[in-house]
Amino acid sequence: MLGALCLCAVFAFSYVTYADEDIQSVTLSNVAPSITTINTSNDSYGEDQLVIVPAEGSDFVMYIHGTAYDQNGCSDIDDVSQWTLRLYRSGVGGGFLCSGDDSNCYNPSSNSTLTLSGCSGPSDTNITYQWTVTLKHYIEPTDASASSFSSNDWKARVVVNDVSSDAGYLADSFEVATLRALTVPSVIDYGTLAPGDTSTQQNIDVTNTGNDDIDFYVKASGAMTCDRGSIPESEIHYDLNDGFVYNSVSGLSASDTPINATITRRTTSISKKTMYFRLKVPTNGVSGHCANTVTFTAKSNE
């Protein structure tokens, strides 16, 4: 029983009124949350993209965002620790239970952040999420031009567990574009040569900066232009074999020449091939500084 609710003075006496309390209770069952929408994009909160394009030679960011719903209230799923994301190529062993691999299976933790927003309070049932995931440029491509996994796609699978450990999930499919790219040193310097000399061998590392095995084309922009005169690009001989003999191989041309180098897709370490160059200077008609441009263009591996 409760103490006196009021002690009301009326004239020379008072009467006493009491109140009593009834503790009411109910237990509301838990309802599992659900992922309402999921989008994959190269842009923050961007429109859903069917194809994600890696960045050449460096890590890149993709976003997985959408909304989730919990009938019990969004506060039931508003802690980042309740959320998990798995990005994986559909054909990888284990599927969404795959082991982490920068090429085909991401279980983002340290390389991602999750932002939860839009939950205005216990009576609100919706929440917006966005994962920002940093991926390696050499993740396995699955688009039509991919050399190995064109029949696969990638999955983004978002799972949220509410406080009662009931889970909701949703997966989205997307393709990772094939990126064939390479890098080479910016300068090939043959040093100072006398007319009629043949340079020493210059080693040029061609590095695969895409996500598929590649060959490449090579061509010269034209003859090397000197302070006086010029040197035909055909005087620049090249080969994939170290110590090649100048006269045993051909020289550059102004059109693409395919080089079947087969530079494989990087996995754990950088993947590259070395190409060797030598320049033979004409016996007359040129002097001073000479220069041109040699272009390396990645192509599908043959």
What is the binding site for another protein (CB under 8 A)?
A: 1-2, 5, 10, 12-31, 71-73, 75-76, 122-125, 163-164
Q: Which of 140, 142, 117, 137 is nearest to 127 (CA)?
A: 117
Q: Which CB sits closer to another protein, 102 or 124?
A: 124
Give the residue with the Cβ less far from another protein, 162 or 172: 162
Beta carbon nearer to another protein, 14 or 99: 14
180/185 Cα distance (integer angstroms):
17
Which three-class secondary structure string do you get for 141-159?
Answer: CCCCCCCCCCCCCEEEEEE
Q: Which is nearer to another protein, 77 or 259 (CB)?
A: 77
The CB density around residue 107, as the number of other CB atoms within 10 Å, is 17
**What are the distances in angstroms from CA 213 to CA 57, 58, 140, 272, 273?**
14, 17, 10, 10, 12
Least separation in angstroms between residue 68's CB and another protein is 14
Both tokens of 221, joined, read 């922009």
Among 111, 104, 96, residue whose Cα is nearest residue 142: 104
Identity of the residue, 163 or 193, whose beta carbon is nearer to another protein in the bound complex:
163
